[in-house]
Structure 1
Amino acid sequence: MTLSWALTDALTITRRSIWHWMRQPYAIIFGLLFPIMLTVLFGYLFGGAMQVPGDSGNYMEFMLPGMFVMVMAFGIGETMVAVATDREKGVTDRFRSMPMASSAVVLGRAIADMLYSAVLLAVMLGFGLLVGWSAHNGLGNALLAVGLLLLLRFAMVWIGVYLGLVIQGPEASATVQTMLFPLTMITNTFADPDTMPAWLGTIAEWNPLSATVTAIRELFGNPGVGGMDHPILLAIAWPVLLTAIFFPLAVARYRRLSA
């Protein structure tokens, strides 16, 4: 089977996902509104009580880079639910019975989710501009920051695909989605880890998401916390490592599914 055949099959799966979104736009609308709601909640309800590191008193500029990262990380749950739903409804088995590349289903899902994530990130960046956030270090650094965010999302896609192929039942799915909240919130997004209890601050500093938050704050020129060496390098290394682990796991798990 040639590479072009596999890519054609993957793009067919991608078009299926896009068509599904067009027929059920409420899921897309909620997905776009949820991070905006979180931004308003944390930024305006709690922002006045937060101390912003550095000279800037603009909490939105401090928080928004972390919110961009959180939105990319929450994609784990969206991908996982979509893959698990197809598997439980027998859609995946029907795909496996067709003469198509074995990796096309997971690759097509990944492409579709990356397209959706790009739209979601564009909406969040636009909303950030409306509420007082801005990028101060030029277009080149801003584009590099966007690239790091999408690289992180790419790694999250493969974690979501793998979990979607592994989990059994809605209870397990709900548990994984619940665990996304501590994963995304115990970071340096909302507060300096130095203000946390020592054990919690250590977890926040070692959370891979914190590296991306620190890196894009630096690239956007937003206020942030110090203490992390080479954040841009870490923001590349962590997603690459996660992709190297979960991409082969996802493809191998798909191939082991019973037809």
Structure 2
Amino acid sequence: MTTTTTQEPAVRAPARPEDARRSWWGDVGLVMARELRPVVREPFSVVFGLVQPLVFLALFGPLLAGSVGTDLPAGSVWQWFVPGIIVMTTLFGTSTTGSNLQYEMQSGAHERLLVTPLSRSSQLVGRSLKEMAPLVAQALLVVVVMLPFGFRPDPVGTVLGLALLAVLGVGLGSLSYALAIAVRRQEWMFWAVQQTVLFPVLILSGLLLPLESGPRWMQVAAQVNPLRWVVEAERALFAGDLTASVVLWGLVAAAATAVLGLLVGVRTLLRSTD
């Protein structure tokens, strides 16, 4: 005698209204708010990030004025030097953000975030967009600090320059997160790669010293360094030369860095969670 059993179809839980209303940009906003919360609670971290650039301004600026100040393309040493230091602040600040993600991976916070309904790509984009707020705040503080010393930035150029820095910071932050995910728990590897890449890019940007008097090979290498064009664009913008060709090239370099960083970062995150 054969008995037949009928299997009732699985009943799915009804979709919650908040799930239906969620969008990708909404997920990005949630992640961005989550990442900004510690910064808002402890704003001293933003101020503490200014120690290094202020040391450069206080100690390297006078040396620069005394040695090559008369040969600088901009008449004032501060008009030439301060925009470069602001870019350096962005470079140092965003290139180290991957260490925070490494800490979350070690503590398990990153895995808990991955099991939420938030899309993977929105998690990385939200983290990267968070970098805009502290770096713009730090750049404004540098400008304010240097005003009594004769630094006179163009108001419109300053706003455009800060927007350009925000775009660059998104790309650099994304690449830093991608590196942290790639090396995972090998913290030493993250810092080894970060330091190995950071200083050649920094020197070849003409940020600290004019490259016009350097060897030919260094000038050629600087031409393919995206940070070089961002530095030149920032100097032109802060000087009020808004229509200079280097401004366009700086925008292209910053946008390309942002697009590349987001693509690499999202791809690395998706592959790590497959």
Equivalent position of 1:115 in the other structure: 133
Stretches of structure 2 lacking an aligned partner (at least 5 in a row): 1-18
Change (3 A) 1:23 1:55: closer
User: Displacement, 1:54?
Assistant: 4.1
Q: State yes or no: 1:238 paired with 2:257.
A: no
User: Displacement, 1:88?
Assistant: 3.0
The 5 A counterparts of 1:133-172 are: 133-135=151-153, 138-168=154-184, 169-172=186-189
Give the length in aligned residue pairs. Answer: 251
Equivalent position of 1:53 in the other structure: 72
Percent sequence identity over matched residues? Answer: 21
Q: State yes or no: 1:198 paired with 2:213.
A: no
Which protein is bigger by CA-based radius of gyration?
Answer: 2
- Counterpart contact for 1:81–1:164, Cα < 8 Å: yes
Q: Which moved more, 1:10-19 or 1:86-95?
A: 10-19
Equivalent position of 2:262 in the other structure: 247
1:86 is paired with a residue whose SS is: helix
Q: Distance in 1 between matches of 2:188 and 2:121?
A: 27
- Counterpart contact for 1:114–1:153, Cα < 8 Å: yes
1:193 is paired with a residue whose SS is: coil
1:26-63 CA distance string (max 9 Å, x none) = 5433212222122222113443222332472x322211
1:43 is paired with a residue whose SS is: helix
User: Displacement, 1:2?
Assistant: 6.9
Q: State yes or no: 1:33 paired with 2:48.
A: no
TM-score normalised to the size of structure 1?
Answer: 0.84
User: Displacement, 1:207?
Assistant: 1.7
1:141-181 CA distance string (max 9 Å, x none) = 33222222222222212222222221241211221332312
Q: Which moved more, 1:4-13 or 1:99-108?
A: 4-13
1:173 to 178, 182, 190: 190
Q: Distance in 2 between matches of 1:251 and 1:193?
A: 35
- Counterpart contact for 2:129–2:170, Cα < 8 Å: no
TM-score normalised to the size of structure 2?
Answer: 0.80
Change (3 A) 1:63 1:217: same
User: Displacement, 1:195?
Assistant: 0.9
Change (3 A) 1:3 1:193: farther
User: Displacement, 1:82?
Assistant: 1.7
Stretches of structure 1 lacking an aligned partner (at least 5 in a row): 224-228
